[in-house]
Amino acid sequence: NSTGDDQKKLDVMSNDMMINALVNSGVCSVLVSEENEEPIIVPADKAGKFCVAFDPLDGSSNIDCNVSVGTIFSVYEKKDGSVNDLLRSGAECICAGYCAYSSATELVFTFQGSTVEGFCLDPTIGEFVHTRFDMKFPADGGKRIYSCNEGNFIHWDQPIKDAVEAFKNGIDGKPYSARYVGSMVADIHRTLLYGGIYIYPADKKSPKGKLRCLYEGIPMALIIEQAGGIASTGYFEGKIGRVAELTPDAIHCKCPIIMGGPRDVGVIYDCYKKAGIET
């Protein structure tokens, strides 16, 4: 596809379904999909006032082994009807959400400045039923879980290595459990519900990070922050910042991601402070 990932048949089908539904909805003017090299400009007779960026099937490398996959999207208001409408700060994202496809199909979304709400598909009536109200990270930090691809450990900067070692060795004498699905939707959904932290930092191998800013980083950051969590870039481009404040410079650009509750992101921040990096 446009970002160099292997494309599965289900990737193509889900992308076609998303584009067809959004183009014919009458409310979209510009679409960006992970599967398409170029943005899609909706014909004038069907164009509306919103612009949508989406990953139609996140985690599709897991399809053949029947592991959870999902869909992620971010929505912006139309300005001039060009791709520039989506190359704006994450602070201007007005709606973000994801669908998780597993033992149940769940839709989680939020509007800018609002609560995070969850819905579950009831296949007997073909409707999404409101099942999770005002979703929040557990007040005490929740389960002690860290989630990252430790195969990249050798490439990480020292504070990230130190933080992961701290999780493994135990904070207050209690070691964390490791959980990593490899589908961002599944890992973020668990982190939001159970607590813990999800880490995909910039490193020597991927200095700009690995995940896509426009349709993975920014929408998940909006959800995480509005559920009471922290969505940080870690140390990126000379400073530690918020993912939600990034401005994509291209539709498929990448960004680093550290997302979780304040208790666990605080461990990483402490490691940065020890290294002399201001958080």
The residues assigned a catalytic role are 5, 11, 34-35, 55, 57-58, 216
Q: Is 157 exposed, middle or buried (0-12, 13-18, 19+ CB in 10 A)?
A: middle
DSSP β-ladder status, 257-260 and 197-200: antiparallel
Q: Determine contact, residues 56/71, Cβ cutoff 8 Å.
A: yes
Q: Determine contact, residues 93/85, Cβ cutoff 8 Å.
A: no
Residue from 37, 34, 70, 69 nearest 52 by CA: 34
Helices H / strands E in the chain, number of each: 5, 16
Cα 173 to the center of its chain, rounded Å: 31
